[in-house]
Structure 1
């Protein structure tokens, strides 16, 4: 899979420049050998300065073979020279020899100078460039990246995409990981990018590449989350890391209806509640008509709300719960509070109130006065009118008392009457005809 072009420019950042001098020169004690070493050291550096990298390998090779502890500079400059030489020739066999020499120089340098933490990232990135398509050798580059993390605690954020690309290839070529292991690696790399982002770095490109690679592996879907990750969380409900994984992947892949997502959501909301986690958790309970679970979670969500609009959302959902339980007066109160908190919620709130009134006709029917019994529909009409619900208004109006019914009770259009019952509203009489 193609990695973004910005990644390929990292070589320029990672390659060391010409090292002219280093402390600790160990010239041979034999005068003739010393003279030759000085001559060839000057020769290879001159070639390097003039970009004659293939020519530079010859005197450099003599130094590496005959005076390997001369100075660390022959290894620092040597990786630059052999890498450039590999890029300067077309012969694939020779190119590979030069590339292998770059890696060998790093390994020899580590044996002599024991300072692997300083350059292990560079070695890893060269290995990525050289061996990413070699199903066997790419494992060594992966090991170098992981060694860098072990030694330094992290890797340069610009290298994260290269590392995860190697993981992707190792999985594709060698089936080297379980899906769970890949997800763990992905989360670890994402944490590095989050840290870099907190330090002001732009990690957009790296995040994008990681997600492309993860999608390309086709590891995750709703079935995987539910049937593979879910049972593990059920067996270990204290595993917050796994809960976070399930939650994040469920959101990413829109797997909101799974039991695994609900378990993960419950853990997150219990341990680190936010308005969003509490609200979504309550919605899941409401979908299942589990009002006893939903109500306390919504009450908690109100305390976590950041503005009146969020409070209005919660109040409206509480109104729905009360209404479903038959607590109609409480439902109306909550709905009115929602409408007061947020004008945008007003239409929904008043429609709910209209529905509550319409559904109360049988419970509130006294059987003494048709005008009074039907006045409930006038109250419902008024609520629907405030909601802008023409369908509700039409349905309610069809149940208004008739002119004859008002005449029979010596009442007239325009007079007021109280609905009684729990509704307790005074309405202006009107007729359906």
Structure 2
């Protein structure tokens, strides 16, 4: 995550706050107290400007205790002083105390000035910075990030989203603070905000990568979780598009696309907002389940959504397989030829596919009256294989040609033309296998 930019964003808030806090000084009415307040105010400012934060905290503390409403600058600068003191201290207990004081300064500021929206994101960032490695305090950071979102609707700068989810990750790892479902909901919410920022022109690639890495490190999403935790919820409400998209995304990542849950999610998405890809993949899943009629319906739908000849060729190729499995061989041939026409790279496969269709039609096309005519379909198959450059198919087809004796017996000669009949319906030049 871009911590540097997050710090710059937070400091810019502080600079604005300081500029606005120069007016309305409320000095103590007692002359001696006023003199001391002026002295300590000058002292802590001098120490702060010279970077001597450990020395600055003593006069600042006196002012916070004895003249708390002196000026909002005490609280704006107080954050800087206690943060600097925490960085300069060497004793662990003192470091912790100074870090706590940073957040306390924000609490005191809220009581006196009631302007939480101006600095809540800063406070959340400091809580994350100080407490992210502390099992007992990391939840303070998550709650402050959530308070920021409650007030502003989002986190700014956008890089704070990565810090927020890192705090969630740590709270989950340290304390099992959330259920897996709660983690996913938080992840999806943060991602939606990052999408909004991205649409507005912000570069969120690093933050999104951070979220994905942290979610993967939690090891809560796997095929069993998708099947057993998310699947039943979608089955109960198949119109839950948000859940369907989650399942689709996670199933693809985890390679669980052969599950019934994935198919159900795909159906929900495709019914709501069909695209070429969703309809095609859905059709392919039905093909895998041998539900060829359903697959055909989805491929026809995908064909209406195809935008390029290559996509149309894919669908015609898929439809060729559907027709073949439903016994519609003539339609299967037409679809295969169309696929080859739209995508020349498919042409060879199409002719080889047609050769196979013809070879498998021996029983369907056998009339039983002429062996030459019955065997002529294998010549048609040979021709298809030849167009495909499929030498193995050609050899198989030729082995089923009629023999010279069969041609002679029925009064034919090599080279004579005969129509195969049946769905093949081609006129072929007779040849023999021997």
User: TM-score category by the smaller chain?
Assistant: over 0.9
What aligned pairs does 1:106-125 form with structure 2 within 5 A after superposition? Answer: 106-125=106-125
SS of equivalent to 2:65: helix
1:339 alignment counterpart = 340
Shift of 1:284: 0.8
1:104 alignment counterpart = 104
Q: Distance in 2 between matches of 1:200 and 1:106?
A: 32
Q: Distance in 1 between matches of 2:140 and 2:401?
A: 83
What aligned pairs does 1:152-231 form with structure 2 within 5 A after superposition? Answer: 152-156=152-156, 157-231=158-232
Aligned partners of 1:132 and 1:169 also within 8 Å:
yes
2:23 alignment counterpart = 23
What TM-score does the superposition give when structure 2 sets the normalisation length? Answer: 0.94
Shift of 1:183: 0.5
Q: Distance in 1 between matches of 2:111 and 2:393?
A: 84
Q: Distance in 1 between matches of 2:154 and 2:5?
A: 20
1:63-86 Cα distance to aligned partner (Å, 9 max, x none): 111111111111111111111111
Shift of 1:8: 6.2
2:350 alignment counterpart = 349
SS of equivalent to 1:293: helix
Q: Distance in 2 between matches of 1:34 and 1:348?
A: 94
2:71 alignment counterpart = 71
Shift of 1:282: 0.7
Q: Distance in 2 between matches of 1:212 and 1:408?
A: 77
Q: Distance in 2 between matches of 1:414 and 1:344?
A: 32
2:10 alignment counterpart = 14
Q: Distance in 2 between matches of 1:387 and 1:223?
A: 45
What aligned pairs does 1:143-154 form with structure 2 within 5 A after superposition? Answer: 143-154=143-154
Give the unaligned 5+ runs of structure 1.
Answer: none
SS of equivalent to 1:128: helix
Asked if 1:45 is matched to 2:45, the reply is yes
1:156-214 Cα distance to aligned partner (Å, 9 max, x none): 32011211111111112211111111100010111111112212222222122111111
Distance change in 2, residues 1:13/1:351 (3 Å): same
Q: Distance in 2 between matches of 1:154 and 1:273?
A: 31
1:137 alignment counterpart = 137
1:86 alignment counterpart = 86
Aligned partners of 1:413 and 1:428 also within 8 Å:
yes
SS of equivalent to 1:417: strand
Structure 1 residue runs of 4+, over 4 Å off? none
Asked if 1:54 is matched to 2:54, the reply is yes
Asked if 1:311 is matched to 2:307, the reply is no
Q: Distance in 2 between matches of 1:44 and 1:388?
A: 89
How many correspondences in the alignment? 429
Q: Root-mean-square deviation (CA), in Å? A: 1.8
SS of equivalent to 1:26: coil
Q: Distance in 1 between matches of 2:34 and 2:379?
A: 110
Aligned partners of 1:7 and 1:161 also within 8 Å:
no
Q: Distance in 1 between matches of 2:189 and 2:384?
A: 54
Q: Distance in 2 between matches of 1:345 and 1:142?
A: 55
2:258 alignment counterpart = 257
Aligned partners of 2:419 and 2:426 also within 8 Å:
yes
Q: Distance in 2 between matches of 1:140 and 1:318?
A: 58
SS of equivalent to 1:19: helix
Q: Distance in 2 between matches of 1:390 and 1:359?
A: 18
1:351-387 Cα distance to aligned partner (Å, 9 max, x none): 2211111111111122333332222111112222223
Aligned partners of 2:376 and 2:430 also within 8 Å:
yes
Aligned partners of 1:347 and 1:387 also within 8 Å:
yes
1:282-319 Cα distance to aligned partner (Å, 9 max, x none): 11111111122212111111111121111111111111
